[in-house]
Amino acid sequence: MRQLNIDLSRLNADLPVELLAVLKAGVVEEKGYYFLQSFRPQHTPASPESLQGRNDVECLHNHIHMEDYLSRGSTGEQATIAASYVMAGLELFKKAFPMLKFRGIISAAERENGGVTARFHCVRAGEMPWPCDDVEEFTSEGVLIFEL
């Protein structure tokens, strides 16, 4: 198991303390899976039949609902903070595992309390990207994908 903890104070001081704490905990690789330490599963992840591979397992564990970390804010405001969080998270993964490529995904649905989620997974040859090959399939929510 590898873990990296770095000083994130220079990456994005505008992130709420709760989100910075998630990132400051670091990232970890465990049996070919890559997790934010804060969301690392207690047991070795298994790929249930409902999941399509390691990308799905990582996205299941490496996701947050912005409304759980922000006291308020519109969907647009939450998505802006999510973008900063995703960029900082991707930099963290890339520093820990420089030979790999990672994807950060923000999805947003217009709801009263926001509805923005952020996820991470490793990009792997031969595995379908999360959430699918064609983001145009998502008609009820916006999807923004970053790769680093």
User: Residues 65-76: pLDDT tens digits?
Assistant: 998 888 777 777
Sketch the domain layout of the chain as residue ranges: 2-147
* SS3 label, residue 115: strand
Lowest mean pLDDT segment, chosen from 23-27, 49-53, 76-80: 49-53
Percent residues over pLDDT 90 in the chain: 34
Considering only CA atoms, give the Rg of the chain: 15
User: Pairing relation of β-strands 63-65 and 27-30?
Assistant: unpaired
Predicted model pTM? 0.81
C-alpha–C-alpha distance, residues 145 and 135, integer Å: 9
pLDDT of the residue at 95: 95
**Model pLDDT for residues 109-144, shown as the tens digit of each residue:** 766 555 889 999 999 988 776 655 555 555 556 777
Q: Count Cα neighbours of 126 within 13 Å in the Cβ-side half-sphere.
A: 2
d(C-alpha 71, C-alpha 51), whole Å: 32
CA dihedral 14, 15, 21, 23 (to 10 degrees): -110
Query: What number of helices (H) and strands (E) belong to the chain?
Result: 3, 7
Place of tokens 């670091």: 26
